[in-house]
């Protein structure tokens, strides 16, 4: 039985562990924190529980797959609640628009708020999104590439993506379909998940819009932290060993350069036939492969275009907000100019749009009785393009976010709080101070993205948001499976 060490108990590492143990490997997961989760972590503070990573959960079948590989299932491990509305959009003119679950419910919402023409356009939009997803997911997302020419191995799918306009630009495509500007924002803000302005993102990333606007947004009982806990539990029950509070200091390599295991920070040597590394790729090359020149696609060290970062303010407050959904998007007056601030000028958005997630509305453990847990996110430049002194800007940002909450009708009697800036992300090992890794520009997409193997370092496989297929929960879960397939190629 071959032994595989997985570095990191985040979603990618845990998915990889589930698939690896299902393939018959002996698996050890090494995690520096005391709990599973990685970027999908948690914070306990003054009686409040905060989910510190992703807050939007879509495509639960992608969680079910690694669970089943480990002999378990989604139904056994998680209790999911469908959120309807998935989002409540608040606009600068005072209007609101909800993203409702189901074709008919969303069509009715559009008809009521935007008119019959846009409601009819929605029918065609849904059909287009479904075709895009069916062509894209199995052929270009959930697949390993060895070279760019592998795109030609499935010419019918590639031709279909071209025919669907998948390589056009998302923003203009949405504007051609809908008249109401609010719909332009509701159906294109997801480009930010790919690290791009809607006018710069390829239309193939409308697949993210499909995932949340059509397939639905869910919330697990116990909070988002329940997802890594479920994966970790399944992996352990199937025989994997999870070692928390353990940091890997270096890779063990033989004279040929092949990886043979890891060395922990206390000097323990753990032998392995293969290692799956889920560290942010520039960090992995810098600290674990200092003698290997990183590929340009890795970014940071030798170029590359990083996603924007975010300030996240975790706030425990007295009171419960009225008229708010689980996920609330507050759009500013400005749209395209705000992205110019963020991505080109490297400044704070002059008129920002913000996300407020109220976990405690659906998680009774998240806050004491009569209180609420708020997750307030504002996109900000990453540390490579940004010109912001976060030591000085930290408190002014906090005051602006407090004023925004008050103006928007949220309770602001703060009991406890924790503010995260790009400097904090950087200190956690995230290149350019962003938790969203490399942006999904065309040269950093699919087979052009940083690969999950480096042929110069046999025995090492990468997983996570920095490599294929990309950023976000629906991407890093398949990333773990793709890493397990690479291990299968290496050691059988």
328-350 tens-digit pLDDT: 999 999 998 999 999 999 999 99
Note whether 390 and 459 are same-domain residues. no
Q: Measuring CA to CA, which residue among 57, 52, 377 is closest to residue 212? A: 57
Of 180, 197, 215, which one is at a domain's C-terminal end? 215
Q: How far apart are CA 475 and CA 467, in angstroms?
A: 10
Residues of the chain with pLDDT under 70: 297, 299-304
46 assigned to some structural domain? no
Note whether 420 and 483 are same-domain residues. no
Residue 42 vs residues 3, 48, 54, 386, 403: alpha-carbon distances, Å: 30, 10, 10, 27, 26
pLDDT of residue 233: 98
Q: Which residues contact 351 (CB under 8 A, 6 or more apart)?
A: 332, 333, 334, 337, 338
Q: Which residues contact 135 (CB under 8 A, 6 or more apart)?
A: 157, 160, 161, 164, 166
95 assigned to some structural domain? no
pLDDT of residue 297: 67
For residue 270, the domain's CATH number is: 3.50.50.60
Are 164 and 134 spatial neighbours (Cβ–Cβ below 8 Å)? Answer: no
Q: Which domain holds residue 12?
A: 3-41+53-79+222-303+441-491
Note whether 119 and 199 are same-domain residues. yes
Note whether 190 and 115 are same-domain residues. yes
Note whether 120 and 206 are same-domain residues. yes
Note whether 413 and 317 are same-domain residues. yes
pLDDT of residue 148: 82
96 assigned to some structural domain? no
Cβ burial, residue 480 (10 Å; 0-12/13-18/19+):
buried
Q: Measuring CA to CA, which residue among 39, 25, 38 is closest to residue 69? A: 25
Q: How far apart are CA 436 and CA 169, in angstroms?
A: 21
Note whether 362 and 468 are same-domain residues. no
Of 186, 215, 244, which one is at a domain's C-terminal end? 215
Q: How far apart are CA 452 and CA 466, in angstroms?
A: 9
93 assigned to some structural domain? no
pLDDT of residue 302: 45
Structural domain count, the chain: 3
Residue 44 vs residues 51, 190, 250, 282, 398: alpha-carbon distances, Å: 9, 29, 31, 30, 20
Of 412, 431, 450, which one is at a domain's C-terminal end? 431
Note whether 312 and 427 are same-domain residues. yes
396 assigned to some structural domain? yes
CA 463 to chain centre: 13
Please give the mean pLDDT across all residues of the chain. 95
Q: Which residues contact 18 (CB under 8 A, 6 or more apart)?
A: 66, 67, 69, 70, 231, 234, 235, 238, 240, 480
Note whether 188 and 280 are same-domain residues. no
Q: How far apart are CA 281 and CA 449, in angstroms?
A: 11
70 assigned to some structural domain? yes
Q: Taking the complete model, does pTM exceed 0.85, yes or no?
A: yes
Note whether 115 and 36 are same-domain residues. no
Q: Measuring CA to CA, which residue among 4, 50, 5, 10 is closest to residue 471? A: 10
Note whether 329 and 352 are same-domain residues. yes
What would the 3-class secondary structure string for the chain be?
A: CCEEEEECCEHHHHHHHHHHHHCCCEEEEECCCCCCECCCCEEEECCEEEECCCCCECCCHHHHHHHHHCCCCHHHHCCEEEECCCEEEECCCCCEEEECCCHHHHHHHHHHHHCHHHHHHHHHHHHHHHHHHHHHHHHHHCCCCCCHHHHHHCHHHHHHHHHCCCCCEHHHHHHHHCCCHHHHHHCCHHHHHHCCCCCCCEHHHHHHHHHHHHCCEEEECCCCCHHHHHHHHHHHHCCCEEECCCCEEEEEECCCCCEEEEEECCCCEEECCEEEECCCHHHHHHHHCCCCCCCHHHCEECECCECCEEEEEEEEEECCCCCCCCEEEECCCCCHHHHHHHHHHCCCCCCCCEEEEEHHHCCCCCCCCCEEEEEEEEEECCCCCCCCCHHHHHHHHHHHHHHHHHHCCCCCEEEEEEEECHHHHHHCCCHHHCCCCECCCHHHCHHHCCCCECCCCCCEEECCCCCCCCCCHHHHHHHHHHHHHHHHHHHC
Q: How far apart are CA 25 and CA 189, in angstroms?
A: 41
Note whether 134 and 174 are same-domain residues. yes
470 assigned to some structural domain? yes
pLDDT of residue 139: 92
For residue 377, the domain's CATH number is: 3.30.519
382 assigned to some structural domain? yes
Q: How far apart are CA 272 and CA 268, in angstroms?
A: 13
pLDDT of residue 300: 45
Q: What is the dihedral of CA 465, 466, 470, 474, to 10 degrees?
A: -10
């Amino acid at each position: 039985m071959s032994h595989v060490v997985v570095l990191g108990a985040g979603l990618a590492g845990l998915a990889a562990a589930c698939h690896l143990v299902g393939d018959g490997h002996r698996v050890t997961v090494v995690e520096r924190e005391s709990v599973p989760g990685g970027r999908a972590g948690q914070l306990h503070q003054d009686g409040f529980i905060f989910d510190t990573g992703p807050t939007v959960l879509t495509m639960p079948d992608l969680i079910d797959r690694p669970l089943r590989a480990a002999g378990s299932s989604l139904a056994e491990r998680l209790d999911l609640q469908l959120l309807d509305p998935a989002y409540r959009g608040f606009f600068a003119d005072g209007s609101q628009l909800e993203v409702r679950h189901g074709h008919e419910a969303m069509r009715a919402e559009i008809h009521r708020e935007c008119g019959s023409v846009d409601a009819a356009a929605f029918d065609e939009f849904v059909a287009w999104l479904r075709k895009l997803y069916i062509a894209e997911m199995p052929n270009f997302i959930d697949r390993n590439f060895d070279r760019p020419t592998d795109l030609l191995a499935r010419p019918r799918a590639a031709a279909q993506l071209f025919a669907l306009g998948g390589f056009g630009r998302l923003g203009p495509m949405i504007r051609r379909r809908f008249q109401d500007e609010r719909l332009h924002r509701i159906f294109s803000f997801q480009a930010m998940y790919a690290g791009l302005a809607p006018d710069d993102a390829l239309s193939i990333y409308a697949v993210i819009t499909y995932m949340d606007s059509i397939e639905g947004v869910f919330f697990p009982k116990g909070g988002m932290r329940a997802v890594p806990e479920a994966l970790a539990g399944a992996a352990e029950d199937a025989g994997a060993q999870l070692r928390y509070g353990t940091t890997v200091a270096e890779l063990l390599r033989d004279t040929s350069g092949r990886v043979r295991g890891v060395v922990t920070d206390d000097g323990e040597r753990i032998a392995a036939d293969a290692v799956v590394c889920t560290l942010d790729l520039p960090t992995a090359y810098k600290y674990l492969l200092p003698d290997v020149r990183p590929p340009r696609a890795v970014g940071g060290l030798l170029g590359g275009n990083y996603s924007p970062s975010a300030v996240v303010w975790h706030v425990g407050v007295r009171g419960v907000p009225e008229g708010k959904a689980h996920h609330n998007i507050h759009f500013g007056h400005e749209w395209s100019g705000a992205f110019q601030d963020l991505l080109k000028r490297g400044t704070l958005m002059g008129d920002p749009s913000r996300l407020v997630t109220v976990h405690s509305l659906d998680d009774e453990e998240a806050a004491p009785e009569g209180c609420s847990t708020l997750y307030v996110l504002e996109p900000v430049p990453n540390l490579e393009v940004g010109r912001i002194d976060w030591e000085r800007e930290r408190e002014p940002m906090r005051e602006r976010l407090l004023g925004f909450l008050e103006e928007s009708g949220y309770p602001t009697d703060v009991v406890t709080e924790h503010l995260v800036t790009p400097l904090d992300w950087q200190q956690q090992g995230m290149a350019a101070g962003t938790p969203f890794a490399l942006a999904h520009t065309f040269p950093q997409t699919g087979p052009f993205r940083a690969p999950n193997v480096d042929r110069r370092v046999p025995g090492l496989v990468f997983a996570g948001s920095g490599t294929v297929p990309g950023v976000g929960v629906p991407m890093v879960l398949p990333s773990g499976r793709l890493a397990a397939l690479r291990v299968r190629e290496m050691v059988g």
